Chain A
Amino acid sequence: MELLNILIEITTGQGLAGLGAGAAAIGAGLGVGLIGKAALESMARQPEASDDLRANMILAAALVEGVALFGIIICLLVALG
């Protein structure tokens, strides 16, 4: 019964916004994780290129994060609006 109530709340109300925020976090986590992995591997292979790689890593992470934040903002608007 409790589960049913939770499900009803999720499907009818603002619970979906929470799910959306979670989905955005999954996307951002995957994206930033892959960038970090690639950057670390490259740095390990070519330590002399570290500075260049670091700047580009941050840039790519910021771009991924920007998309995720779009999602978060829309969830916030749904939850509060």
Chain B
Amino acid sequence: MVRHITRLIISAVVFTAPITAISQHESHGEEHHEEVENSHDAQHQETLHENSHEAGHGDSHHHDDEHGHEEKFVAGDFIMHHIADANEIHFFGDVSVPLPMIIYVEGKGLDVFMSSSFHSEHGGHGGHGPYYATGPSTGVEYTKDENGISAKDHGEEVAIWDISITKSVFGTLMILTLMILMLRLAAKSYARRPGQAPTGLANVLEPLILFVRDDIAYPIIGKHKADKFVPFLLTTFFFIVGCNLLGLIPFAGGFNITGTMGVTIVLATLVFIITSINGNKHYWGHLVSPPGVPFLVKFIVVPIELFGIILKPTVLMIRLTANMSAGHIIILSFVSLVFIFNNSYGAAGGVGIGVFSTLFMIFMYFLELLVAFLQAYVFTLLAAIYFSEATQEPHH
């Protein structure tokens, strides 16, 4: 079983890494909103000055209030910045770890450099950007702003493929390495002590593994058919739990791996592929031509059923992404409350609301711990249900 797990993990790495990066690059264009762009363009100069004073506070977004008397803290901006994927791991204040950028420029070649090469117009790293960097091997000028990364060669826009190791990709690789190490260690301890009760790490992992096998796979798929799917279910379960828990560690870079659409889309696609490959005659027969349905009604039912096989993994993807992002958004909202009250009612308001916020944040953290396991369970459970639908034998 362990060999299967390892093999699946490796294939998952191969799948996840580029797709996460590409989708991160594309999603920047979608998430970006006009209002921010406008205000940034108009207030670019002011914000740059403001932010140079607030070097230790680079992630709180300020811009002038419309009425012009006070700086305004834009909570939505602050939250989105924190749950979005990034090219660096930001711990607190100015402390951040740069990650490698890997960009393929069409017709030019590959650029590999650290994200710390990006600097603003004044040469610093703080503030909003846009940031500029020059490709070391292609000489292309990169610009990183709210839209993501764009490249210009002698003033002309060139197409790029951004397959950088982003924060989410890095976190994914970290969790997968941890999984391989831990599960291999556990497997070795079983081989070393045959027939004896498990100890140490194996003792910790055994209940979880048995839970996925005996409480999810066997009852739903059926004992004789489930063994084929157990490695995949175990891998997704441990991967999702690992990613969810990594995102909950405070001051550890604020990873939001399972809240990144690129990661969950890969997981959902794998579920879709496995379901489709293992779909038997009964499954496809009922999809394409449901028995006992009048001929004309089939024209309505069959498209809906076919749409459903795409919709099911899509919902799986959105449920996981939205749930994990929602947890981060709630916690960050409580952080934002402190700044909002601090700005409108002074320091006393900030401290007062801070006590309340902290208590609620602690409560939310415990809730999120539950949700981290619950969402992994739900994802695995639904994947198992889809597999069982695909492999069901006719009984009528």
Contacts and interface: CB of A to CB of B under 8 A. Distances in A.
Interface of A, helix, strand, loop or mixed by DSSP: helix
A58 B323 contact: no
B378 interface: yes
A16 interface: no
Contacts of A19: none
Contacts of B381: 55, 58-59
B46 interface: no
Nearest to A70: B318
B215 A69 contact: no
Nearest to A81: B33
Contact of B33 (A55, A62, A69, A80): A80
Contacts of A66: 315, 318-319, 322
B322 A79 contact: no
Nearest to B385: A59
B191 to A, nearest CB: 32
Interface string A22-40: 0000000000000000000
Interface in B201-226: 215
Given A55-B381, A80-B31, A81-B33, A62 B76 contact: no
Interface in B338-396: 374, 377-378, 381-382
Nearest to A73: B322
Interface in B227-252: none
A73 B326 CA distance: 9
B110 interface: no
B337 interface: no
Contacts of A55: 215, 381
Interface in A28-72: 55, 58-59, 62, 65-66, 69-70, 72
A59 B219 CA distance: 14
B326 A72 contact: yes
Contact of B382 (A62, A69, A70, A79): A62
A58 B378 contact: yes
Contacts, number: 36
A81 B374 CA distance: 31
A81 B32 CA distance: 7
A58 B216 CA distance: 13
Nearest to B329: A76
B80 interface: yes
Contacts of B76: 79-80
Interface size bracket, A side: 10 to 19
A48 to B, nearest CB: 16
A72 B323 CA distance: 10
A15 B76 CA distance: 14
B374 A69 contact: no
Contacts of A80: 31, 33, 76, 80
A73 B318 contact: yes
A69 B323 contact: yes
B374 A58 contact: yes
Interface string B15-58: 00000000000000001010000000000000000000000000
A69 B319 CA distance: 7
Nearest to A69: B322
B319 A59 contact: no
A74 to B, nearest CB: 11
A58 B377 contact: yes
A65 B318 CA distance: 11
Nearest to B374: A58
A65 B323 contact: yes
A32 to B, nearest CB: 12
Q: Which 7 A-B pairs have the closest CB atoms?
A: A69-B322, A62-B378, A66-B319, A80-B33, A66-B315, A81-B33, A73-B322
12 contacts: A55-B215, A58-B377, A59-B382, A62-B378, A66-B319, A69-B319, A69-B323, A69-B326, A70-B318, A72-B322, A72-B326, A81-B33
Given A58-B378, A59-B381, A66-B315, 16 more contacts: A58-B377, A58-B381, A59-B382, A62-B374, A62-B378, A62-B382, A66-B319, A66-B322, A69-B318, A69-B319, A69-B322, A70-B318, A72-B322, A73-B318, A73-B322, A80-B76
